[in-house]
């Protein structure tokens, strides 16, 4: 499981998703300039649901290492969901009132999408390697039978 590079990419994605779920997305500065209120990502209900779905998909993609096709599809789907979460955060950033300070964790969905895309590429390369090995093995069997 850990020998394959896509497992490392998916583990990084899972850690970043969990940091995003339980971390602070933004804060509001008070009149004195100090931080007065912190907002978690889960406080927005629809965004929280999106993050929970993203977390479940990355965890499922991480543990389905024996089923490469499913792992590849889950990686691609979670990359698309992460891009949707990044678009949502970008909308929140540009429509936020003055005084709202966003944390550096708002770039996590972009990193998650890149990591999941690289994991999908690794799954695809593994699948091609396995199919090539099956073809070579089958061609050797055919030569022995003749």
pLDDT at 95 over 90: no
pTM of the model: 0.83
pLDDT at 116 over 60: yes
Task: Report which of 15, 20, 130, 145 is spatially closest to residue 86, judged by C-alpha positions.
Answer: 20
CATH of the domain at 139: 1.20.140
Work out the average pLDDT over 123-127: 90
| Domain boundaries, position 131 | 5-145
pLDDT of residue 38: 73
Q: How many domains does the chain have?
A: 1
pLDDT of residue 81: 95
Tens of pLDDT, residue by residue over 30-46, are 666 666 677 777 778 88
């Amino acid at each position: 499981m850990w020998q394959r590079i896509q497992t490392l990419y998916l583990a990084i994605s899972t850690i970043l998703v969990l940091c995003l779920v339980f971390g602070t997305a933004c804060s509001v500065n008070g009149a004195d300039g100090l931080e007065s209120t912190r907002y978690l990502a889960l406080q927005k209900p629809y965004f929280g649901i999106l993050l929970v779905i993203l977390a479940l998909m990355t965890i499922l993609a991480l543990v389905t290492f024996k089923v490469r096709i499913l792992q590849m599809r889950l990686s691609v789907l979670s990359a698309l969901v992460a891009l949707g979460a990044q678009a949502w955060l970008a909308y929140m950033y540009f429509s936020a009132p003055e005084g709202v300070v966003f944390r550096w964790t708002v770039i996590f969905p972009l990193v998650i999408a890149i990591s999941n895309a690289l994991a999908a590429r690794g799954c695809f390369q593994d699948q091609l390697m396995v199919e090539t090995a099956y073809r070579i093995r089958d061609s050797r069997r055919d030569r022995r039978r003749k």
